[in-house]
Amino acid sequence: MRLIHIFGTRPQFIKVAMVARAWQGKSDQIFIHTGQHYDRNLSDIFIEKLDLPQPDINLAIGSASHAIQTSQMMVGIEKAILQYEPDCVFVYGDTNSTLAGALVTTKMKPILVHVEAGLRSFNRSMPEEINRLVTDHVSDFLFCPTPQALTNLKRENIGKWAYVNGDVMADALVYYRDHVLLEEVLEKYQINPQGFCLLTLHRPTNVDSKENLTAIFSTFAKFDHKIIFPMHPRTREMIAQFNLVLPHQIQVIPPVGYLEMLALEKNARCVLTDSGGIQKEAYLMGTPCITLREETEWVETVQSGWNVLVGADGEKIYAAYQSFHPTSARRSIFGDYHAAEKIVTKTLAWMETYGKQ
């Protein structure tokens, strides 16, 4: 049996690392890096730190419009599938890399498997939401991280070959947390546990809007704590374009590797983010999360009381910073930390049955 993994962004490197490890010895594996995250700090460093094999193919697509980026990925992915003739193709999450892999594979022979299926923010203005919807509806086999994700698929009448297996990002956090060098990270940035806030910001809704960026940064000027900000290259470009001056509370650092990010998340007073993956990691780390969006695909983290949605509203952001201190118990909403193994077992069994038809 031969399979292809398609990935291109930071969260996907982490997911692929866990699933690929579970496949070792059970299948030949081909790795296709689309190059969607082209900055070294967002790409190569993750491959190195996660002990992920070097890609067999790097499409090196880089930044472009959604149409150009996705179409160029599709051309490269089609060539790879024709070259390697895999039995199945794995796509992950909700990026343009996911969409490109899904659209190509569904028109060819391999079985299409979507890891992290069924997530919905119910906001179709988000490109990620469209990517999720299309990928789920053309996939052959769907692996859901939570029961709510499976419920979403059943509502759309595509739950026949969908399974709740838990979240591979939760697997990764448990697997890698013992490798986190906490003291080195705290010393590197001159911070103390609980003495800083952690910020990530990259969604177009926020960074492409001068009004929203101005509102967010103006609010941070009222914070009493230092804000550590691993700045995404896209965000840096928009701040420069809008000629914005960041408040002194913000300490900008380059994008960091996965293990360093876990250390920062674990020890922050709170996390401020518009990232879906960071919301989830903050929950797993037991760190309050203030989400700079109006909705989230990870509704369970809000329902649990550990995540609050504030959008780009300065008053809501500041109120959450001052008063959002959850103390409720955190349920195991992302599985039992064996999601990758379950994915492999289910896929092998399904492929065996499918192959006899």
Catalytic residue, from 66, 137, 202, 225: name it: 202
Active site residue 37: no
Nearest to 59 by CA among 41, 40, 37, 42: 37
Helix axes of 258-267 and 10-23: crossing angle, nearest 10 degrees = 110
Q: Which residue has the tokens 């001159």?
A: 190
Q: Tell me, letter by letter, the H, E, C secondary structure of the chain.
A: CEEEEEECCHHHHHHHHHHHHHHCCCCEEEEEECCCCCCHHHCHHHHHHCCCCCCCEECCCCCCCHHHHHHHHHHHHHHHHHHHCCCEEEEECCCHHHHHHHHHHHCCCCEEEEECCCCCCCCCCCHHHHHHHHHHHHCCEEEECCHHHHHHHHHCCCCCCEEECCCHHHHHHHHHHHHCCHHHHHHHHCCCCCCEEEEECCCHHHHCCHHHHHHHHHHHCCCCCEEEEECCHHHHHHHHHHCCCCCCCEEEECCCCHHHHHHHHHHCCEEEECCHHHHHHHHHHCCCEEECCCCCCCHHHHHCCCEEECCCCHHHHHHHHHHCCCCCCCCCCCCCCCHHHHHHHHHHHHHHHHHCC
Region for 346 from its dihedrals, namely left if φ exceeds 0, alpha if ψ lies in -120 to 50, beta otherwise? alpha
**Residues marked as catalytic:** 202
